[in-house]
Structure 1
Amino acid sequence: MLGKLKAMAKKASISETEGGSTMGPNLRRMSHFSFGRRPSMASRGSISGTSYTKPPGPKVRYENTYRFTPKDGEKFKSSKAKEILKDVVTSYINKNETYDPNMCKKSAPTMCDIIQEKLKDLQSPRYKYVVQVLMGQSSDQCLRSTSRCLWNTNTDDFAEFHYSVNDMFVSATVYAVFLE
């Protein structure tokens, strides 16, 4: 009788499909408390984010403007950009500041970010800005920096500001390129 019960239990675990807790003969037998999927499978999320996506909305289509030059009053003004450069650099560098590599390492990227944010307030749409801040120690040596750009001289421009105090120099440059 015991052998017959073992055979029936084994047969029942293999044959359970639709109403039972397994889906086939090769899967583990699941608990009687789970309904449908295993609890560990039901709570899993996708790493790629496909399980938590926004519902698709209407697709926004933009038409081409076919503008190759900025409108009147939207052109980049290098004089205003130079004022921004001067304000940011002089506010970060004190008159009695001396060269400190760690301070320069932290200040240069911060100044770039602030300059870029203030340039957005100039209301020059369709311009991309490249901001470069160079800081170094001036101690009886020479530094020459050159840049070349391939751009449209009618729409694109740049601004620069050089500042030196005690044994430190700062050179800030902004390149403004109009997007067609």
Structure 2
Amino acid sequence: MKSSTILVYSISATGQVGAWSRYTIALNIDEWCIAGDDLYLRSGDYIHVFDEDEVGDETSPGIVGPFKGEIQWSWLDFGQPGVTKNLYGFDIVGISDVAVSFGYDQSNGGYFTTPYTVPADTVPGMVIPMPLSAPSFSVRLTYDGTEKWQWNAFSLYLQDLRGMS
């Protein structure tokens, strides 16, 4: 089965912050159009419409499977580049449980911590502990796609280890 990749540039209503999103669709998309608020895709002899109330992705006509979601930040220095920082915890706000992992070796983009599943909204309780030291971090959020999910906010709590002068 072929697949297609869609790149979407979005600008937030608050703050006018823009970001690219990449969607991999398990269909070979021949044509697409937007009518009103709906996105229509043609794949061979079939027409598909994105439905925000649907949980899952139609992988072939009549077969809907989970639509896994992954959000990943680029490598962030959080201050002076090359200086080790101590990450001691994080908080997340959203909808649906999520697996969180942290990249800790920018020279090898594949070095991430084992994913750690947390509830959708951790702010009411204590900070979720994640002791990790590195000069830069990347955060990866993975939703399994078996229920509606949404990401709203993420906070990292860290300490810069640079010497005082």
TM-score interval for Structure 1 and Structure 2 normalised by the shorter chain: under 0.3
TM-score, scaled to structure 2: 0.26
TM-score, scaled to structure 1: 0.24
- Hey, which of these two has a bigger chunk of helix by percent? 1
Larger radius of gyration: 1
